[in-house]
Structures are given as structure tokens and as C-alpha cells.
Structure 1
Amino acid sequence: MKQFLIILFYFLPVSFETEAQEIPFRWDELTASDWQKALEKSAQTCILPIGILEKHGPHAPIGSDLIHVREWAARAAKREYAVVFPDYFYGQINEARHQPGTFSLPNRLVLELLDSTCSEIARNGFKKIIIINGHGGNPHLLRYFIQCQLERRRDYVVYFFDPAQDAAFNEKVKAMRKSDPSWDAHAGERETSTLLYLRPDLVKLHTATKESGANLNRLSLPNLYTAIWWYASYPNHYAGEGAKATRELGQLLTEHTVETLVNALKTVKSDTKTLELQNDFFEHVMK
């Protein structure tokens, strides 16, 4: 009898632990046997986190944008389950090719790779793909990509997480700022603050003043847009004052982004109308 109880207690914890385990939200951590559970639990929703590899001033990591989207996705998926695709760093970053660490692909390849990635995500059972972006040079590309979804019929929908301005929240941020927000655009106070909250071990704040993040204003073309505009203003690939960053500001910014993403996930998971309208559109296109 004693031996039987020993054997029973040996196996019980394993059984209870297995029952209590939650399936992972990361695509690469799921097992094939959990795939159907993940599809059901996520309402066939997958997050595609897109960043870039580029210089972030002299003090922040090359993969800062990837760190941001990775953390936003993870924190949101823990609260509102969705499957998170592995970090994706293929975007538009031609303007940083003169700086070390930049990974830039040809423009046609970038679009083709993104389209193929979404198609493969859908082939694996996902009907809803929500792109979250951490790179300031991507929004034009991503909006164009979204519009291209109407080029041909698809059995899935791609959404772009594009949060609106929140006036009340912006006032909170303004009260905590120590630098001029008008040129805080890349590796400055705002972005460095979020990194101090998420990955302080990777930020070398003491080096943030070794290069200038000021706008050089080397080009003036009113009412015109050119590809060289960023280099003309910020050749160091640094815009702002990273040295003025604080962890407290980073926490405020991050938690607001995650909360907004959680709400967006809830909306996407319950959305049935977008694909219905997309299908209706193609019924008319084919007439």
C-alpha cells in the first residue's frame, strides 16, 4: 500500500502541472499538437510584430524597434490571447544604410516577402493578421501594403494597428517630458525612456551625448518631399535628446501602448464584418 501511494504521488504533480499549463502564445514555442487549440483560443488571430535593424543614436541597441514590438505583443497576448509570429525585421530602412548595423533589403523584395509571410500565416489557419509596427520608417510602406490587399481575393484580413492620438494621455506625457518634443523623433527621450523600462541592460545612457541629435536643417524645400530629407536633417541617425530619458516615462508610454493593443485585439478577434465586406467587394470586382 505504501509503495502504491509513493507511485501515485510521484505521478500526480506531473498530471496536475500538465492540466494547469497554458499553451504558449509565441508561434515558435507552440507544439504541432497544440496548434488547433491555439487557433481556437486566438479566434484565428495572429500578431505580426514588425521592427527593423538600424542605428539608434550612440546609446540604444540596433534592435530597439524589435524590442518594442516584441514586448508589446507579448504583454498584450498574455492578457488577450493571440498567436505571435517570430520577430520580423524586413522593412523600409534605406535612409540608414550609411550607418553600421543596418539591414536593408530591396524594395520589391520587402513587399513580396511581407505578402508571402501573410499568405503563409493564413495557410496555417489564421483568418486575421494584425501588424504592429515599431519603426518610424514603415507606416507609409505598411499602409500601401494594406491597400494592396484588394489586389486579389484572399480568405484572410490584414489589419494595421494604428492607434489614434489620445489628448488626455498626451498631456500626461507632456508633464513628464524633459526635452523638446518637436524633434524627439529617433532614439530621443521618448524612445530611450521605453527602452530604459523594457531593457535597461542594453541602454548605454552615458554615451547619449557623444553625438548630436539636433536637426541640422540642411535642406529647405517648402511643400515638397524627397528621399534625402531625413539624412539632410539627422545624418547621425539620431533625433532628440536620449540623455534626458527616464524609466518612469517609459513605463507610462509602454503601458498605454499595451492597453491600446489589448483593446485592438479584442476588436479584431470579434470582427466578422471585415472579411464579409472584403468577399463582397470581390464578388463585384469579378462581375
Structure 2
Amino acid sequence: MDANELYDPDFRKLIKSKKQTIIIPIGSIEQHGAHLPITTDSDIVTEIASRLAKKCGFIVFPTISYGVSYEHEPLTNASITKDNLENILDDILWSLQDLDAKDKITCIILNGHHGNAETLSKIEEYFAPSIIVKGKLTAAMGNVRVYSYWHFMEHEFDHAGFVETSLMLAISDKVKMEKAKKGLIIEKLSKLEQSTVSKLSTQRGGFPRITENGVWGDPRDATKKDGRKFLAEIVRNLAKECQS
């Protein structure tokens, strides 16, 4: 169920009557080569969250479309700091707890951007069950789960490469395949080079330095068919995890 289908009295009654799961998708605004929109991370995670909600009967909230993307400087990024992302999520989660839903809400934070991962791991720890924080027992929000969607697929993930481009082809008409160009192919590097490149990619301004064109992988053979396959796999595996 999408949050835009819910009204105040009904929503409050719903979360107090039985256990509910709320998905909060998080993406980013950042460069994805010359062929994908700067909203790619947010577009993909929004679609996955919507499909997961429909499959499992969850409630999906609007996507937080801004993330921690300073690694893409000086290429396009509309970033928020790690502290601000953490504060935004803290506020949302605490406000849900203050609705007095007791232990009836599970919150799934569904991540669509690698740069958000460090902050999100802290959120999961912060809202661990039976920890007293700010003078309150967090058991009511003790069931906060954080998932990055690419952990639920077998294929090696990328950035504006084969996987992300295929996913976008499956959900959007904004892909410009004629502008798709091969980027960094990490498999061709030595183990030491791979380790160095991986570290640089997360540093401020590091991603363009190692990829040159902002692409990690090769998007040129991406297809809508592969994107649909990846989507089905991700949603299927996420559903199993969320319902376990």
C-alpha cells in the first residue's frame, strides 16, 4: 500500500490494530554517466520498494531522494551529509514511535545508494531492541531493518554499468543507450589495484578519479529483459528476508 492512499484516522487505526511493516526507500541525486538520469538510484529503489510492498502487503513511504554522494564531485551530486541523513531518519523513526503503536511497527529502510550504507548501519544499531536512548526504551521501534537492494541479487553490482542500466531500461524510458560508454572494469585489475580503487571510490571526489567517465562497468549490452529478471530476483529475495 502506498502512503498516498492513506488518511490520518485510517493510518493511526491501522498501525494500532495489527503489526505493520513500513518501507522507507532512500536513494540519491548523482551522476550516472551520460546515459542515465541523475535520479537513477532513487528511481530504482522506489520501484523495488513499491513492488515489495505490493508483494508482501507492506506500506511504502515516499522515497528520501537525497543521499551522501560527495564521492562524485566534481560531477553532479546533490548531497546531504552523513549526520543530516542520520538525523532525518532518527526524526522519522521517533515520530512513528510517538504514534503509540507500541511494538506493532517494523520499519524497513531500503537503500539504493552505496554512499548511504555507513550511516544506515548506525541507524540499525541505534534502534536495536531494548536499548534505552534519550530516556526511552526503544523496544517499540526495536524492529528496524536496513537493506541495500543489490545484496539480494547474484550478479556483481556496478554503477551505471550493465546492472543499473538494465534495471533502468526495465522501469524507465529515460535511458539514452546511444550515449552509453564503457567505464572502469575492475576485473582487469590486480588484487592490489582493486583494493586501492575500491577505497578511492568512497572518498570525496574519488569516483571520477578512478572511472574518468563516472561509469563502473560496461552498460553497452544492457537490456530491458535482464532488468526485469534482476527486479524479479531482488524483490523475491527481499520478500523472503523481510518475512523471515
Question: What is the alpha-carbon distance in structure 1 between the residues aligned to residue 209 and residue 146 of structure 2?
Answer: 29
Contact 1:42 1:82 in 2 (8 A): no
Aligned CA RMSD, in angstroms, stands at 2.9
Post-superposition CA distance 1:145-192 (Å, at most 9, x none): 2223357231212111257968xx73xx5xxxxxxx6xx620001110
Pair 1:264–1:97, CA change in 2 (3 A) = same
Pair 1:116–1:243, CA change in 2 (3 A) = same
Question: What is the alpha-carbon distance in structure 2 between the residues aligned to residue 111 and residue 160 of structure 1?
Answer: 13
Contact 1:161 1:264 in 2 (8 A): no
Pair 1:51–1:163, CA change in 2 (3 A) = closer
Matches within 5 A, 1:1-287: 25-36=1-12, 38-39=14-15, 43-100=19-76, 102-124=77-99, 125=101, 127-150=105-128, 152=133, 153-154=137-138, 155-156=140-141, 157-161=143-147, 170=154, 185-199=158-172, 201-209=173-181, 212-214=182-184, 225=199, 227-228=203-204, 229-267=206-244
Amino acid at match of 1:233: I
**What number of residue pairs does the alignment pair up?**
225
Question: What is the alpha-carbon distance in structure 2 between the residues aligned to residue 233 and residue 42 of structure 1?
Answer: 49
Post-superposition CA distance 1:88-142 (Å, at most 9, x none): 1232211123123x21123322211121122123334462101111112222221
Question: What is the alpha-carbon distance in structure 1 between the residues aligned to residue 167 and residue 81 of structure 2?
Answer: 30
Question: What is the alpha-carbon distance in structure 1 between the residues aligned to residue 17 and residue 165 of structure 2?
Answer: 35
Structure 2: gaps of 5 or more residues:
none
Contact 1:38 1:83 in 2 (8 A): no
Q: Secondary structure at the match of 1:138?
A: helix
Residue 195 of structure 1, CA deviation: 0.9
Q: Secondary structure at the match of 1:160?
A: strand
Using the size of structure 2 for normalisation, the TM-score is 0.79
Question: What is the alpha-carbon distance in structure 2 between the residues aligned to residue 116 and residue 253 of structure 1?
Answer: 33
Larger Rg: 1
Identity between Structure 1 and Structure 2 (%): 27
Residue 220 of structure 1, CA deviation: 5.9
Contact 2:109 2:146 in 1 (8 A): yes
